[in-house]
Amino acid sequence: MNNLSKYKLEIMGISMLWIMFFHAQVLIVGPLLVVKAIGYIGADIFFLISGIGSIFSYSKSNSSSVFFGSRLRRLIPTFWICLLLFSISDAYLGSFNTTKFLLAFGGLDFLFCGDIKTWFIPAILVCYSVFLIHIKLADKIGNHKSLLGIAVIAILFSVSIINSSLSHLLIMTIRIPIFLLGVYIGNLILNNKDSEILNSVCMNIIVLIISMLALVVVFSFYSKGQAFYFATGIYWYPMILMVYPVTYFMGKLIAVFDKINIFRAAARLLGKHSLELYLIHTMIYMYADTLPFVQMEMNISRFPEYLIYGLITLLISIMLQKIVKTFFR
C-alpha cells in the first residue's frame, strides 16, 4: 500500500503511457489488444492517486482555500494554454465553435454540453470539491462514514442518470468512489496505519479476478456500440473494483525494478508531465488523420506514426511545463 505513495510519479507515468496507448488508433492483435482495450483504467489510477495526494496536500495547511488554490494553480494555466492551442487547431480545420470555446474555460463544455475532449480537468476539480465536502462532513460524522456515504451517493446518482441527458457525466461520477478510496488510503498512510485487506496479495488477486470477469461481461455488449457504453456507464463500473489491485501490483512491479535507474527516470519523467501529456496528446491524436505521418510507407499498423506523435507530445509537454512554471507560478 505504501508503494502507491512512494512510487506516485512512476505509477502516474506508466498510467499516462497506458492512456496514450488506449487512445492510439493502432492496429494490433493478440494479448496486446486486451491491454489496449482496458487502457482507460489509466484514468481511474489517476483518480486513485489524486485522492491519496489530496489528503497529503490538505494536511500541510489544513486549509480548504490553500488546498484548492494550489490545485487551481497547478491545473488552470496549463489547461487554458492548451484550450487556446485546441481553438487554433479547430479554427484551422474549420470546426471552431465560439460558445463551446468560452464554456471550456470553466469546464462547462463537459458538464453541460457533454464534450468529453478535456473531461478530466473539470472532473478532477469536482473531485477536489467533493474532498472538501468530505473534510467538513468527517468532522461531524467521522471519516469512514463520510467517505462511504459520499461514495454511495455518487454510485446512486450514476445509476439514476443512465440513458438520460446527463449520462455524459457518468465518465466522472463513477470515478468519485475511486477518488475517495484514494483519500481513505492516503489517510492510512499519513497516520502510519495498516490494512490487512489492502496489503493482502491473495485478496488483491481475488478482487482482480472478479473484476476481470466483470469486464468479460461488459465487453460482451461490444456489438451494441460505444454509445451504449457511454449512456449506461457499464464501461467504468468494473474499474471501481479493478483499479486498486492493478495499482497495487503496479507498485510492487516498480519496486522490483527500483534499482534500474533508466526505467525509474523515464517513468518519473512521464509522471511529472502527466497533466501536460494528457492535454497535448488529446489534441495531437484528435488531428492524427490530418497529419502527414499517416501517409508514411513504413506506417505498418500505424505504430511508427503514433511513436512520432508520442515523442512530439512529450517534447511539447516539457516545454509547456517550463513556460507555465516561468510565467504563472
Give 295's pLDDT tier (boundaries 50, 70, 90).
low
Domain count, the chain: 1
- pLDDT on residue 203: 96
- pLDDT on residue 117: 86
- pLDDT on residue 163: 94
298 has pLDDT over 60: no
Cβ 120 vs Cβ 46: under 8 Å: yes
Q: What is the DSSP string of 15-79?
A: HHHHHHHHHS-----THHHHHHHTTTHHHHHHHHHHHHHHHHHHHTT--HHHHHHHHHHHHHHHH
Number of H helices, E strands in the chain: 17, 0
Mean pLDDT of 250-270: 91
Q: What is the DSSP string of 100-116?
A: HHHHHTTTHHHHHH---
Give 296's pLDDT tier (boundaries 50, 70, 90).
low
Output the nine-digit C-alpha cell for 84.
487556446
From 121, 147, 133, 132, select the one nearest 65 (Cα to Cα).
132
Mean pLDDT of 194-208: 94
159 has pLDDT over 80: yes
Q: Residue 87 is part of which domain span?
A: 3-328
Average pLDDT over the chain, rounded to an integer: 91
- pLDDT on residue 292: 63
- pLDDT on residue 173: 97
Give 66's pLDDT tier (boundaries 50, 70, 90).
very high
Mean pLDDT of 60-78: 95
What percentage of residues in the chain have a pLDDT greater than 70? 96
94 has pLDDT over 60: yes
297 has pLDDT over 60: no
**Tens digits of per-residue pLDDT, 214-251?**
999 988 887 787 888 889 999 899 999 999 999 999 99
Cβ 46 vs Cβ 274: under 8 Å: yes
Mean pLDDT of 151-174: 96
Give 291's pLDDT tier (boundaries 50, 70, 90).
low
From 29, 5, 80, 159, select the one nearest 327 (Cα to Cα).
80
pTM of the predicted structure, to 2 decimals: 0.94
